[in-house]
């Protein structure tokens, strides 16, 4: 599912990815109507989406940018094929990015690809396969990857935004909130022991 685009980084006018993320967090279901009238049903509880066969793969970037959301409870009967939600997250982020970093993605992130994208089912360009290969072999920053691959940063931004949205990446140079909390608790415990020892003298 290869696409050809000219990337000009810009701020997305509509954040469709956040709508989907919020629906998943709240375990809600949505009927998504693409610009070409193709229907997608998002099941927030199952964390999957339903389509009519693979019709959604025929939709263009403009079809995904010009979509609408309708609250729903169950998929219409004609939506007979279930897919992992990660595929929809990749697609939405890939087209929404337009060369910009989305969400919490940062230019100085050191990224490791932990799952290879199924490029037969996802929008991509040939450069994305080279980017995926590099991030799979070793954790790399976007800046370094741009130099190694001689690839423009907007292309890397789009790939990283899509892969991160789909849950295919691990950020090496960031500490998770849970680790930070444990470190702070350990630090406070040490201080507490020192104070207790000082007062007992």
pTM comes to 0.81
| Per-residue pLDDT reduced to its tens digit, 90-147 | 999 999 999 999 999 999 999 999 999 999 999 999 999 999 999 999 999 999 999 9
The 3-state DSSP class for residue 196 equals: helix
Domain ranges of the chain: 12-98, 100-201
What is the CATH code of the structural domain delimited by 100-201? Answer: 1.10.10
pLDDT tens digit string along 16-74?
Answer: 999 999 999 999 999 999 999 999 999 999 999 999 998 999 999 999 999 999 988 78
- Asked if residue 20 lies in contact with residue 96, where contact means CB atoms within 8 angstroms, the answer is no
Q: Where are the alpha helices (DSSP H) in the chain?
A: 16-25, 61-65, 85-97, 126-137, 142-149, 153-165, 177-199
């Amino acid at each position: 599912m290869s696409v050809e685009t000219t990337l000009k980084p810009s701020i997305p006018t509509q954040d469709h990815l956040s709508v989907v993320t919020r629906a998943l967090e709240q375990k809600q279901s949505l009927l998504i109507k693409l610009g070409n009238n193709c229907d997608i049903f998002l099941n927030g509880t199952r964390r999957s989406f339903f389509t009519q066969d693979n019709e959604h793969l025929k939709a263009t970037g403009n079809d995904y940018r010009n979509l609408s959301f309708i609250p729903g409870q169950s998929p219409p009967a004609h939506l007979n094929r279930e897919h992992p939600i990660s595929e929809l997250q990749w697609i939405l982020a890939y087209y929404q990015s337009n060369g910009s970093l989305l969400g919490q993605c940062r230019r100085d992130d050191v990224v490791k690809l932990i799952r290879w994208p199924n490029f037969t089912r996802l929008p991509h360009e040939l450069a994305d396969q080279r980017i995926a290969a590099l991030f799979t072999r070793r954790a790399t920053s976007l800046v370094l990857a741009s130099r190694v691959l001689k690839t423009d940063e907007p292309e890397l931004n789009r790939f990283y935004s899509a892969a991160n949205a789909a849950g295919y990446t691990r950020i090496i140079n960031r500490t998770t909130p849970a680790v930070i909390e444990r470190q702070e608790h350990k630090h406070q415990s040490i201080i507490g022991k020192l104070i207790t020892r000082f007062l007992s003298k």
